[in-house]
Structure 1
Amino acid sequence: MGPFKVIAWLFIVWYWQEGTGRISLHCDGIQEPIQGIIYIYLYNDATKWNDPQGYFHLYKYNLSAIPGTDFTLENLPYGTYAIRVHIDQDDNGEIDYNLVGQALEQTGFSNNPVKIFSKPTFRDSRFALLKPALKLQIELR
């Protein structure tokens, strides 16, 4: 790679890191009655994806106290992220699973990956925030 390409690449990376953006998140498929606590986990590091405390930011809302299923995640540095959403019906702070490992409570991921025999990975769910505003839709299952 020539010196011009290296300098151009460094400028692009520097430029992206300088900005902050907002994610407008719409959650579809929330089952009636709408109740429980919704957890929105925002990750920015693939190595921390399976760590329960490895999230970049956690947003927590009581579904019975909010007017809808739209959420805004603000003042986020430009970068690569992945989102995991979980509705905690019994307020124990964890996703409950059945004997075969399927979630008993509603969950969803950015990019809405469909995995039958495994959980979605950071790579399956990642997206780039590189502009001031980004709209995402997550289907809860």
Structure 2
Amino acid sequence: MIHWILFAWFAIMPAQPENFTLTVTVTDIETPEGSLRIGLFDKGDRFLERDQAFRSVNIPVKSSSETFTFKNLPKGNYAISLYHDVNDNDTCDRNMFGIPKEPYAFSNNFKPLFSAPDFEDCRFELKDDKQLSIKLLN
């Protein structure tokens, strides 16, 4: 009888979603001041749009590399965009052609040539705990 009760309980309980941890290390930071502004995106249609990240974080820069962790992320596809806000003005300063004047980077260490990357260029799959290393482009 107890076996049937346990079976019935597990049968009606919703499956708990798996959540994972993503640890990211940003390297090649030349100026140990300001902040890293990091956006974690889970969809391509709003990739790189300000305030559209699935999660975002600002990390004070104190050394030539900084590590941060996103916790409780569901399984899925993600992409990261970040920049080093050296002057801490909450803006990625750009030149007159729209090219960032402050260091920036993307997941997969994607290096754009003539235009900003799209979600697919920077996409990675999260299906277990993961560690990424992203090198700033200066």
Question: TM-score, with normalisation over the residues of structure 2?
Answer: 0.81
Distance 1:121 1:138 in 2: 17
Residue equivalent to 1:108 = 105
Where does the alignment leave 5 or more consecutive residues of structure 1 unmatched?
1-14
Distance 2:38 2:48 in 1: 15
Distance 1:67 1:90 in 2: 16
Specify which of 62, 74, 87 is matched with residue 71 of structure 2: 74
1:125 aligns with 2:119: no
Distance apart, 1:61 and its partner CA: 1.5
Provide the aligned length of Structure 1 versus Structure 2: 123
CA radius of gyration, larger in: 2
Distance apart, 1:114 and its partner CA: 1.7
> What stretches of structure 1 move > 6 A for 4+ residues in a row?
none
Q: Which has the higher helix share?
A: 1
1:136 aligns with 2:132: yes
SS in 1 for 2:45: helix
What does 1:1-141 align with in structure 2 at a 5 Å threshold? 18-32=17-31, 34-64=32-62, 69-131=66-128, 133-141=129-137
Q: Kindly report the root-mean-square deviation, in angstroms, between the aligned alpha carbons of the 2 structures.
A: 1.9
Where does the alignment leave 5 or more consecutive residues of structure 2 unmatched?
1-14
Residue equivalent to 2:12 = none
